[in-house]
Structure 1
């Protein structure tokens, strides 16, 4: 959809050995209003959420 925000959470290796997402970046950059890059997009957020979940899991274990 034109003007959409596209959040690419996929990570793959293309035929040339480069990291890429699931979204065709070249096509979407002409349509989407905002597009997260791969690599360099949501990786830090994913890591932060995972760390938060690990801390919470530990806290729940300690409460038992």
Structure 2
């Protein structure tokens, strides 16, 4: 994912800032599609990461003990 994001950002840069004497052979529609795709992957990964590592967890053992007792 990180390599794809890097390539997409580099493609946007070279599309908007072409080197003198050379034209860019990248289509803008492909860059936009790649940006949307990697953006959605990043959003889903961030959502998973925050839910997995930063949410307050309920202790499952204490709930089981209360139900058994």
Instruction: Please tell me the TM-score bracket, short chain as reference.
Output: 0.3 to 0.5
Higher strand share: 1
Larger Rg: 2
Q: TM-score, normalised by structure 1?
A: 0.47
Q: TM-score, normalised by structure 2?
A: 0.45
